[in-house]
Amino acid sequence: MFNIEEELKKLPGKPGVYVMRDRNDNIIYVGKAVSLKNRVRQYFRKTNKTERIKKMVSLIDHFEYIVVDNEAEALILECNLIKKNRPKFNVLLKDDKTYPYIKIDLKSDFPGVFITRRVVNDGSKYFGPYANPGSAKEMIDFIKSKYKIRQCRNLKQRPRPCLNYHIGRCLAPCCGKVSKEDYGKQIKEIIDLLDGKIDKVIKDLKQEMKIASENLDYEKAASIRDRIVAIKRVSEKQKVSNISENSIDVIGIAKSEMQVCIEIFFVRGSKMIGREHYFYQDLKDMDDKEILSGFIKQYYMDNPNIPSKIMIREEIEDKTAIEEWLSTSLGKKVEIKSPKKGEKLRFVEMAEMNSKVTLENKEKDKSEILLELKSVLNMDKLPRKIETYDISNISGEFMVARYVCYARWSNKEKSIKKI
């Protein structure tokens, strides 16, 4: 029999991870602590708690803990346990969108450049995510039209080059018509381009164009000139900022009665290259700092594009541990900053404003759909419950059915699905 009061007395004053379980032994919450003794006891004291924490504590039947050497180790373990078990009372990154990345397989002697939605630790370099898939495709099309890189997914030795070589779209590494070094120069330039180092790329190209012109190779000089013009045109489509750092993620948060929206701006090479957003349900009574802390830990856990700086409105509790963890993952210093003035504060405010607009638009869309449905069906009131059924069979046999119910109670929306 697990006696919570007795077990609380045994807690060590060391860093670690604690796991709360219900009477069915399901994990309902995972947390980390600098001092397990102090942190875990707080849940069972008669102090002011949010409704969410009160509900969680009421379901705790027993708990366990794992002692580690420091807070950074506790944070990594916490992230792994949350990812594996997805406890109901943790902040969970539930969004199932898979954004596209641009992948360069650097392990190959002659790397290819492709779009992928699967990020793996295979030595490749990934750029993204691209919230708009069209933007990723547009960039790939641009790269393939301006650089003579291989178009094939799998590089195989051939007796003769394919059509792309004959129309000037590939250097035919498959036939040994280009050296590894010369091919690598293109890849290096593409990486700089995707990293947002537009000025460096243009500067190098201008120098190369000048040399070609001095050598009377006017055809090559003209080709480089056209590439410079095209790169400038692509860079002009990106929003220019006055932030001087090369790699920053700016995070904003907005709340409503029903859900929370987190918006991320990606700033690379002093330009905002994209953004994305995530929605969470039933977190309105949680503190913004706690939500952001949970989000940051999950979002960057398997993300190959960790920025050198993350900007948020207020400092989070485990800022130092997260910075240490991300710095180790990236291989160089990562900072989490809360700017108080200037252009950086303006960007945080812009991210917050956009998260608010995104949240309002999503909820507005739902309301407008119900209003339209009410009008079409000539209803006196807005529908509070909608049931749909779908029945399928194969030639009258193997019949299956699905029932979906959408209901509204006290301005909260719930979706119930049954098979």
Q: Output the DSSP codes for 96-111.
A: -----EEEE-TTSSS-
Cis peptide preceding 129, ω within 30 of 0? yes
418: closest CA among 407, 382, 394, 92? 407
pLDDT at position 415 is 44
CA–CA distance, 265 with 273 (Å, rounded to integer): 8
What is the maximum alpha-carbon separation in the chain?
A: 88
| pLDDT at residue number 366 | 67
Give the integer Cα–Cα distance in Å for 314 and 384.
39
**Residues in the chain, total:** 419
For the structural domain made of 4-85, what CATH number should be given? 3.40.1440.10
The residue type of 198 is I
pLDDT of residue 413: 43
3: DSSP letter: -
Domain boundaries, given as residue ranges, for the chain: 4-85, 101-239, 247-364, 384-418
Residue 173 corresponds to which tokens in the numbers above? Answer: 């590494």
Q: Looking at residue 236, what is its pLDDT?
A: 52
Residue 412: predicted pLDDT:
42
Question: Which residues in the chain come in under a pLDDT of 70?
Answer: 94-99, 129, 131-133, 233-246, 269-271, 273, 365-367, 408-419
Catalogue the E-assigned strands of 133-258.
239-240, 247-255
C-alpha to C-alpha distance for 83 and 93, rounded to whole angstroms = 9
Residue 219, H or E segment: helix 218-236
**pLDDT of res. 46:** 76
According to the model, what pLDDT value does residue 97 have? 57
Is residue 384 helix, strand or coil? coil
| Structure confidence at residue 367 (pLDDT) | 66
CA–CA separation, 373 and 257 (whole Å): 23
Burial code of 120-146, b = ≥16 C-beta within 10 A, e = fewer? Answer: eeeebbbbbbbbeeebbeebeeebbeb
- CATH class of the domain at 247-364: alpha beta
